[in-house]
Every structure is written in structure tokens, then in C-alpha cells.
A and B are shown apart, each in its own frame.
Chain A
């Protein structure tokens, strides 16, 4: 098979898609502040998310300081510690990762990658961001109200979340609940956009099966989020009513500080069901976009088509569907019916099958690829390692008899940080190194990037590997200090010191990353339109950064899937999706999957 340049008659007629009416900003404010351009909104989302993420990072540093060096910091008391844990967890999961993957990457990448000019409902999209910002501000405000922010844990279990004695039981928890409700409203607005845009605004020739996996991941994650967030919404409202109006949705009759409370008959377990009905899909809401992005990073930087594209898509669909029937594996210790436990353990183990498939496919894509160890690739490979690690401990915890002794210990903390904190964050970094050139027109500095990667990657292992061991020893999570307990040896304390040192180093290195973001914006090497020689549509725009409307006068037409790398006989080792086929090759049917 030889590749011959196309002849002109081969062009399909340009798009017959309805042109959408674009909104035309006139002023600076219209362009960058009240913008309806998905690219700007994506950047706004990303910057806001990273900013609150930094707050959460600082909180984790404070927690580690306390755990490593108890009795040293007079400004951290037990209540503070719980508040830090709670705010750290909630911010990281919802306000950083969800917002960044869907609001940030989703907004920036969906229209560009599917060959659209913008989202289908740009105005709603803009409102979505402002509601998100409002939710973030409400949450931040809770640090400053009387009693401080809530210390109920990111799971906010009642009754303790709203009982005196828990920090922030008056104001903090209400602000958290209301802020979450706003977050969900804002997200729903954005989410409708992402889903409908993928369904309706694909350019000519961009079939669902030609979508890059990044889009598949974001799409399915959005579907999950749209269906799962209502559960959190409902529980937030019901708990707010319990706290403010004295209803008894979740609060049983109980005696608090020697007083019989007015509540009666409510069911805390009901809250747990609702919370985890959201909470487990939430794990996949941050994981699926990460899966998708990693697939693309690996394919681009190994110059190979992704192994088993169709299988990857179906795995995403199956994981998405299954993620709604595993929630109660978080509730093995809640006293629910043991038969439930049996059912949920089974579904939990089943979900490992499509997940493992994806891992195999990534590895097989790398196999004999022309691997370029660029910074995005390093992060992608780092992700595979970390995710496998966290996934394996997940298999342990999915079994009732193993989970029961380990739950509420540091083992769980180590597990979920591996699987849903470090892994997606590595992907976030990889994605930023990968797409920063498109957003700004400049490359991020490579040496700083490699330094950032190695310290973060090795550092994360230094933090979380030993933590598994602490969990085996029985060191509990959400404890301010663990002292004078027979079963915890003195050596555990030395380990805690080491973990803290590692955590502080990892935290500090993120400054290098931030510096890189700023420095490269002004001084970075100009990137050109397609620095990674990638096939997907966002790299085929006429301008970098893409101008308003993305694709110049005419929408591009797509002729092929997103993974034509190293096609035998082709002139270059990549063929952009919008390059028309040549007669003589007649398609590359012979190429195996």
C-alpha cells in the first residue's frame, strides 16, 4: 500500500451542518469576563478550580504537619484538624477534579475536538461558570463564619454533621450544603451543554465512533454526573431542612450533651444510601475523563493507534452503567443487610473487568510503540502505574471480610488517594502539559516539567505506600493524634514523620509547576499549530490559540478516526482527521486493530 497525496476532487463538500449563530463580544469584558466562548469559559473554570485546589493542598500540608509532628503546632487543635480534613476532601473531589475535568477540559476540548464552533447553548454555559464561582465563594466563606467550616468529613454523615460538638455544625455545614446545591445547579447547566454538544454539533464525518477517547470519557462522565448529582442535591436539601427547620429526614431520636433533641425516627442510613449513590459514580466522574485523556496522550506520544478502540468505548459505557450499582460497598460497616453486602461485593468485582481491559489496552498501545518520553507521556505512564496500584487495593476493599477491619483506617486513605487523587491529578498535569500549547501558543518548559513529574510521582509513592502499612497496623483515619495506643508501635510515628516530609516536598514542587505556567506564558518556546503532530481536530485550527469560532470560515470535514499514527505507507507518521483519503490507498482496511 502506498500513500498518494489526495487529488482535489476528493474533497467532500464542506459542512452541511447548520451554522450556529455566534455571539460577538465587543469589549474586553465581553471577551474575557462575561464570555460565552467555551474556550474562555474552560480557562475560567480551570483557573478557579486550580485556585481552590491550592487551598486544599495547603490544608493537606497542615494535616500532615499535625500528623507528623503532634504537639508542635498550637494553631491546630482537634477541631481544626477535622475541618481541614473535610474541606480538603470536598474541595479536591468536587470543586477541583470534577470542575476541572468537565468544566475546564470539557469546555475547552469538546467543541474543538468534535469540530464545532462552540457549545450549543453558550449563554447557559456562561451562567454555569458563574454559578460555580459563586458556589466556590460560598464554600470559602465558610472558613470565616462563626464556628468555622464544617468538620463532618467530606461524607457529611448525619447525625454528627449537624450536632453540637462537631465543628461548624451551625453555619459551616449549612454553607457547605448550600454551596454544593449551587454547584450542582451550575454543573447541570454545563452538563446539558456538554452532552447535547457532543450529540448535536459534531462536524460532518465526525461519527460517534470517530470521536477521540477524551471526548468519550468526558461525555460519559457527564452523563453519570447528570444522573448522580441529583442524589447529592436531594440529600443536601434534606439535611439543610433537618438542621434549619428541625425536620427528621436523617436524624433519629437522640440525646446530645445530655439533652433529648426534637428529632425523631430519621434514618442516617438513608443519607448514606443517597450520598454514596452519588459518591461512587463520582469516582468515575473523575476517572472516566482521565481514562479518555490518557488514551489519547499515550496514542499521540507513542505514535501508535490506540489498541482496541471499540473495546475502549464499550468499556467506558459498561463502567458507566455498572458504577450505579456498586455504591453500597462504601457501607459495609453501616449495619445494612449482609445480603446487600454480598450483592455489592459481586458488582464491585465485576466492574474490575472492563477497567482491567482498559489497562491492558493502554499497555498494548505502548507495546512496541515509538515512545517519545515527553512530559505528557511521563505523566500518562505514571498514571497507569498508580491506577493499577490503587485498583488492586480496591479489589481487596471490595470484599466485605477484608473491608470491615480495614475501613476507617489509613489503608482506605492510601487506597483512594492512589486511585482517585494521585491518578487523576497525574492526568490533569499530563493534559495541561499536552494542551497548554494550544491554549497559549507556547510550550511549557520541558526541564521544569520533567522535574515536576519525577518529584511528584516518586513523592506520591513515598507518601502513600507507607500509608497502606499504617492502615494494616490499625492507625485510624480522621484522627488528630494517635498516642498511647498499645497496638500502634513507636515506629509508626517515625513513618508518619517521613510521610509528612514527603508530602511537604510534593506540595512545594507544585510551585515549580505554577511558575512554569506563568513563565512559559511569556517566555515559552512558540509552539506552532501542532507541536505534537497529533491527528485530532483541535490541532488543525488555523490559529493557535484558536480564535473565536475555532475553525475559520468553513467547518472542517472529518474523514477518519483520531488514531491514524504510523500508518504504513503514509508520508508522515500521522494523518490528521480532516485529511481526505486518497484513491489509491482506498482506506487502510488491512490495518489490524
Chain B
């Protein structure tokens, strides 16, 4: 639970810090015309969808941090066997990195107003993302073919769970990607898609980051966790 606490402390600290800036030293009972030096008179200068996206990323961060905490706690169990990380994941990671790069390229093109760059960038990003998802499915298949389906051992179960949730988030992103790409294909101006492109880029980078964290987690899990000792009976329970 330490991971999740750290993450949440960071998120809450950001929230509270921002609110504090809004609230400290303000005397709300003093009537004032708006537009004077009042703090917090206006909203963020970002478009609301961007704020919405950042709030959503905070929620997703909480979700993944909780899963990682659970992973660590479960690792202390006596039956833990660490997953032999499938080599295919390296390829998939490469594809995801490329998709993120392509997205970044799209964003730069969108900033410069080059619709051609936006078009090819979006398509490249989409293709790499699909490669990533297909690659993940392929790794799943390999694992289950060699007899490691979810129930085989806890590390496998976590592997399926983590990759599935990460993949679902990517699917959600692809939905926005499809709509944006369709707009571009129908000949939209750069200005009409710039915001969507920026949102997608942020989201892609975020999911890449999450994936890198998860992948590192899988790679760095020690081969075999020791079994319960009196020190960590918080996890193992008093009986064992």
C-alpha cells in the first residue's frame, strides 16, 4: 500500500496546493467587483476537455497504483512464482514507444499547421498502437498455450489483469483516435483537430509511461519471494 499512498499523497498534495493558492488570504466576505485582482476569478486558461483529461489521468493513476500495491502485497504470499517475462513484450514495448513518438510528431505538425504531417502522423501512431495490442494478444496466446492461463499462478493472473486493463485504456484512446483520423480523412482543417491531437498525444504518452512502469515491475520482480515471516504477517495473516 506504500505505492498507492505515495501516489495519492502526490495527487492530493497537488489538489490541496492549488486550492490553497485559491483560498489563502482571501476574505470572501468582502464584496468586490469581479475583474479586480481577485485570485481564482477565472478558470484555468486550458480548455475544459484538457482539464477533464488531466483529472481522468489522476483517476487512472490511482487505479494502476492500487494494482501495483496489490501486486507487491500478493508477492509476499508463500506460493508466489515469478513470471518468466515473455520476450515478445520487448517488441510490443518498441511498438508502443514508436506510436508515442508518432503522436508527438503529429502534435508538432498540428502546431505548425501542416495537415499532411498530421495525417501521416495519426496513421503511423494508429498502426503502431494496433501492433502493440496485437502483440499483447499474441503474448497472451503464447502464455496460455504453454499452460499458463490466468489461474496457473498469481504472477500470471496479475500479468493478465494488468495488461488487460492497460489494453482497455488504450482501446479507449483509439476510439478518440478513430474519430480524429476520420475527421482528417474527410478533409478537416488543422484547426479543427488540433485539440483532439493534443489530447491524444498526452494520453498516449501517459499510457506509455504506465506501460513502462508495469514492464519494469515485471522485469524487476525478484525470482522468488521468500515466504511469510512474523514481520510481514500483515500480509500473510497470523495463521501461517
User: Which A positions have Cβ atoms within 8 angstroms of B?
Assistant: 10, 12-13, 120-121, 188, 191-192, 195-196, 199-202, 204-205, 207-210, 223, 226-228, 230-231, 233-234, 237-238, 241, 245-249, 252, 262, 264-270, 273-274, 277, 305, 309-310, 313-314, 317, 320-321, 324-325, 335-337, 340, 557-561, 563-564, 580-581, 585, 587-589, 591, 593
* 17 cross-chain CB contacts under 8 A: A12-B34, A121-B48, A191-B59, A200-B51, A205-B32, A227-B8, A231-B4, A234-B63, A234-B66, A262-B151, A313-B23, A335-B233, A337-B233, A558-B34, A559-B33, A560-B31, A585-B31
Render B49-75 as a binary contact track against A, CB cut-off 8 A, 1 for contact. Answer: 101100110110011001100100110
Residues of A within 8 A of B35 (CB): 12-13, 204-205
Within 8 A of A (CB), among B1-43: 1, 4-5, 8, 11-12, 15-16, 19-20, 22-23, 26-35, 38-41, 43
User: Could you tell me if B150 and A245 are in contact, using CB atoms closer than 8 angstroms?
Assistant: yes
Query: In the complex, what residues of A have CB within 8 A of residue B161's CB?
Result: 237-238, 241
Say yes or no: is B187 at the interface (Cβ < 8 Å to chain A).
no
Check A274–B237 contact: CB distance below 8 A.
no
Within 8 Å CB of B77, what residues of A? Answer: 265-267
Complex Cα gap A171–B35 (Å):
59
B44 interface hit (Cβ, 8 Å): yes
B38, B40, B59, B150 — which one has the most chain A CB atoms within 10 A of its CB? B59
**Across the interface, do A310 and B73 meet the contact criterion of CB distance under 8 Å?**
no
- Closest A residue to B151 using CB positions: A246
State whether A591 touches B4 (Cβ < 8 A). Answer: no
Q: Which residue of B lies closest to A324 (CB)?
A: B8
CA distance A247 to B204 in the complex (A): 31
User: Is B22 a contact of A241 with CB atoms below 8 Å?
Assistant: no
For B233, the chain A residues whose CB sits under 8 A away are: 335-337
In-complex Cβ contact of A266 among B20, B23, B154 (8 A): B154
A241 adjacent to B79 (CB under 8 Å): no
When distances are taken between beta carbons in the complex, the residues of chain A under 8 Å from B16 are 317, 321
A585 proximity list for chain B (CB < 8 A):
31
Give the total of B residues in contact with A, Cβ under 8 Å. 60
User: A396 CA to B234 CA in the complex, in Å?
Assistant: 24
For A340, the chain B residues whose CB sits under 8 A away are 234
Contacts of A188 on B, CB cut-off 8 Å? Answer: 56, 59
**Which residue from chain A places its CB closest to the CB of B30 in the assembled complex?**
A587
Q: Is the CB of A247 within 8 A of B154?
A: yes
A249-B48 in contact given A267-B77, A557-B34 (Cβ < 8 Å):
no
Nearest first, the 3 A-B pairs at minimum CB distance are: A265-B79, A205-B34, A230-B63
CB distance from A521 to the nearest CB of B (A): 35
Interface string of B200-240 (1 = CB under 8 A from A): 00000000000000000000000000000000011111100
Task: Report yes or no: B32 in contact with A227, Cβ–Cβ below 8 A.
Answer: no
Q: CB < 8 Å: which of B33, B40, B235 contacts A207?
A: B40
> What residue of chain A has the Cβ atom nearest to residue B67's Cβ?
A234
Task: State whether the Cβ of B171 lies closer than 8 Å to any Cβ in chain A.
Answer: no
Of the candidates B55, B70, B78, B149, which one forms a contact with A274 in the assembled complex, judged by CB atoms under 8 Å apart? B70
A313 to B20, CA, bound (A): 10
One of B39, B52, B58 near A121 (C-beta < 8 A): B52
Min distance, Cβ A306 to any Cβ of chain B, angstroms? 10
Interface contact B73-A273, CB-CB below 8 Å: yes
Contacts A270-B74, A335-B233: A210 and B28 contacting too (C-beta < 8 A)? yes
Q: A12-B34, A269-B237, A309-B28 are in contact. Are A207 and B154 (CB under 8 A)?
A: no
Query: What 1/0 mask marks residues of chain B from 130 to 160 whose CB sits below 8 Å from any chain A CB?
Result: 0000000000000000000111001001000
Measured CA separation A128–B19 after assembly (Å): 27
Q: Do the beta carbons of B43 and A204 come within 8 Å of each other?
A: no
Q: Which residues of chain B come closer than 8 Å to A204, judged between CB atoms?
A: 34-35, 41
Kindly identify which residue among A227, A265, A317 contacts B62, using a CB–CB cutoff of 8 Å: A227
Residues of B within 8 A of A580 (CB): 33
Are A248 and B39 within 8 A (Cβ)?
no
Please name all residues of chain A whose beta carbon is closer than 8 Å to the beta carbon of B55 when the two chains form the complex. Answer: 192, 195-196, 226
**Chain B residue contacts of A249, Cβ below 8 A:** 70, 74, 154, 157
B38 to chain A: closest residue by CB: A207
Whether B59 and A248, one on each chain, are in contact in the complex, defined by CB atoms closer than 8 angstroms, is no
Q: Which residues of chain B have C-beta atoms less than 8 A from A269's C-beta?
A: 234-235, 237
- Minimal Cβ-Cβ distance residue in B for A204: B34
A207→B26 contact, CB < 8 A:
yes
- Least CB distance, A191 to chain B, in whole angstroms: 8
Inter-chain contacts of A560 with B (CB < 8 A): 29, 31-32
Residues of B within 8 A of A13 (CB): 35
CA distance A351 to B210 in the complex (A): 33
- Which listed residue (A199, A241, A317, A581) contacts B43, Cβ 8 A? A199
Known interface pairs A201-B43, A204-B41, A277-B4; A335-B31 also in contact (CB < 8 Å): no
Tell me which residues across on chain B come within 8 A of A209, comparing CB atoms: 22-23, 26, 28, 40
CB distance from B181 to the nearest CB of A (A): 21
A37 CA / B49 CA spacing, docked (Å) = 18
